[in-house]
């Protein structure tokens, strides 16, 4: 164990891009910002208490059994037989709800990681994954690690099985950047899931598998041409694009500006483009912003390399 006498810990958990076009529920990566901060400190009062939440507009419950950060931390403490340990938690939401950027995952990851740091790091980051998953699942009912995995571990994460939590980190090309734009609309994950087809044509499944394999090979080999040819989603994007105003205009603008590929981040409404280099990512980001701004849709742009660290102590 590390220092077990810490009185207070502050951590930052980054936003994530899930699915990455052809990797529905099995692929995700972390970016540098936005993200959530959680502060935990030891208390003389037994049990976990959430004492403050900022940036949520009063939407989140302070009951730890109904809050993603609290659920993850409680599940972790119960696993250790330490549920009566006195801990105060503050949650500072610095990313929007229903954004497609892994907001629930960031809170869950930050909550369990902060408590693990506070009590002396009895578990490794990877060992915290099932507790963070429980926290996120309490918010949307879905048990998938394509947000939680990269938020916790950093980098690009492939999930072979969500049920078994069998995950692997994929090498990140040195010059791979992302331009992520969040338009100011909210799409609930349940709505975005309900709109998907219940059955998939064999030819579409084959194409999607080929694209996913090509994308993973391209990332490992740092083959930007193969990456670009592979970032195509023939299953979720054709259905979900209708939830995002001027989606295809934004996609054409991103590709014209040099993007390797463009798609929906998670369930949306955020969109992302993978790019070769910072300069390209900035140009692509500006092109996407111009489309949304042109229809009076407020938006936020985040240009970032892939975040290799994931959640970290501040």
Q: Is 121 inside any structural domain? A: yes
Same domain, 137 and 238: no
Same domain, 145 and 208: no
The CA-CA-CA angle for residues 287, 290, 296, to 5°, reads 155
Same domain, 163 and 210: no
8 Å CB contact between 266 and 95: no
Out of 189, 246, 255, 282, the active site residue is 189
Could you say which DSSP state residue 171 is in? P
Q: Which residues pair with 299 in a beta bridge?
A: 183
Same domain, 275 and 244: yes
Question: What phi, psi does 49 have (nearest 5°)?
Answer: -130, 135
8 Å CB contact between 159 and 19: no
Q: Is 25 inside any structural domain? A: yes
How far apart, in whole angstroms, are the C-alpha atoms of residue 272 and residue 109? 22
Active site residue 136: yes
Same domain, 238 and 193: yes
Out of 37, 68, 134, 136, the active site residue is 136
> What is the total count of domains within the chain?
2
- Give me the pLDDT at residue 30, please: 98
Supply the CATH number for residue 41's domain: 3.30.230.10
pLDDT tens-digit profile, the chain (314 residues): 444 558 999 999 999 999 999 999 999 999 999 999 999 999 999 999 999 999 987 789 999 999 999 999 999 999 999 999 999 999 999 998 889 999 999 999 999 999 999 999 999 999 999 999 999 988 877 778 999 999 999 999 999 998 899 999 999 999 999 999 999 998 877 788 889 999 999 999 999 999 999 999 999 999 999 999 999 999 999 999 999 999 999 999 999 999 999 999 999 999 999 999 999 999 999 999 999 999 999 999 999 999 999 999 99
Angle at which helix 68-80 crosses helix 129-140, to 10 degrees, equals 140
Q: Is 68 inside any structural domain? A: yes
How far apart, in whole angstroms, are the C-alpha atoms of residue 137 and residue 131? 10
How far apart, in whole angstroms, are the C-alpha atoms of residue 204 and residue 150? 27
- Give me the pLDDT at residue 4, please: 56
Q: Is 3 inside any structural domain? A: no
The CA-CA-CA angle for residues 64, 66, 67, to 5°, reads 65
How far apart, in whole angstroms, are the C-alpha atoms of residue 78 and residue 108? 15
8 Å CB contact between 155 and 308: yes
Give the neighbor-by-neighbor strand order of the sheet with 271-276. Answer: 261-264, 271-276, 176-183, 299-305
Q: Is 98 inside any structural domain? A: yes
Supply the CATH number for residue 234's domain: 3.30.70.890
Active site residue 51: no
Same domain, 124 and 29: yes
Question: What phi, psi does 132 have (nearest 5°)?
Answer: -65, -35
Q: Is 2 inside any structural domain? A: no
Same domain, 180 and 300: yes
State which residues form the domain around 130: 8-170+309-313
Question: What phi, psi does 305 have (nearest 5°)?
Answer: -75, 170
Region for residue 296 given its phi and psi (left: phi exceeds 0; alpha: psi -120 to 50; beta: otherwise): left
- Give me the pLDDT at residue 1, please: 42
Q: Is 73 inside any structural domain? A: yes
Give me 293's structure tokens: 């701004």
Q: Is 144 inside any structural domain? A: yes
Could you say which DSSP state residue 246 is in? T
Same domain, 151 and 29: yes
């Amino acid at each position: 164990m590390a220092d077990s006498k810490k009185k207070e810990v502050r951590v930052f958990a980054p936003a994530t891009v899930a699915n990455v076009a052809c990797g529905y529920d099995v692929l995700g990566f972390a970016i540098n910002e936005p993200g959530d901060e959680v502060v935990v400190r030891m208390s003389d009062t037994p049990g976990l208490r959430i004492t403050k939440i900022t940036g949520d507009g009063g939407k989140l419950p302070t009951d730890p059994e109904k809050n993603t950060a609290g659920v993850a931390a409680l599940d972790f403490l119960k696993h250790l037989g330490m549920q009566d340990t006195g801990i105060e938690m503050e949650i500072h939401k610095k990313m929007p709800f229903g954004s497609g950027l892994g907001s629930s995952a960031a809170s869950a990851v930050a909550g369990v990681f902060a408590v693990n740091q506070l009590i002396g790091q009895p578990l490794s980051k990877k060992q915290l994954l099932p507790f963070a998953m429980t926290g996120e699942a309490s918010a949307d009912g879905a048990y998938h690690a394509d947000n939680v995995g990269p938020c916790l571990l950093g980098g690009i994460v492939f999930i072979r099985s969500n049920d078994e939590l069998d995950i692997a980190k994929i090498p990140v090309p040195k010059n791979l950047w992302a331009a992520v734009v969040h338009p100011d609309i909210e799409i609930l994950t349940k709505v975005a899931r309900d709109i998907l087809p219940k059955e998939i044509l064999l030819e579409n499944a084959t194409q999607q598998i080929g694209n996913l394999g090509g994308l993973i090979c391209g990332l490992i080999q740092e083959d930007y041409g193969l990456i670009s040819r592979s970032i195509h989603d023939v299953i979720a994007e054709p259905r979900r694009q209708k939830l995002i105003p001027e989606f295809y205009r934004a996609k054409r603008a991103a590709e014209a500006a040099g993007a390797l590929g463009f798609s929906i981040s998670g369930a949306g409404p955020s969109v992302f483009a993978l790019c070769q280099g910072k300069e390209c990512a900035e140009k692509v980001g500006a092109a996407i912003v111009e489309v949304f701004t042109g229809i009076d849709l407020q938006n936020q742009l985040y240009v970032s390399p892939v975040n290799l660290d994931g959640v970290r102590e501040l």
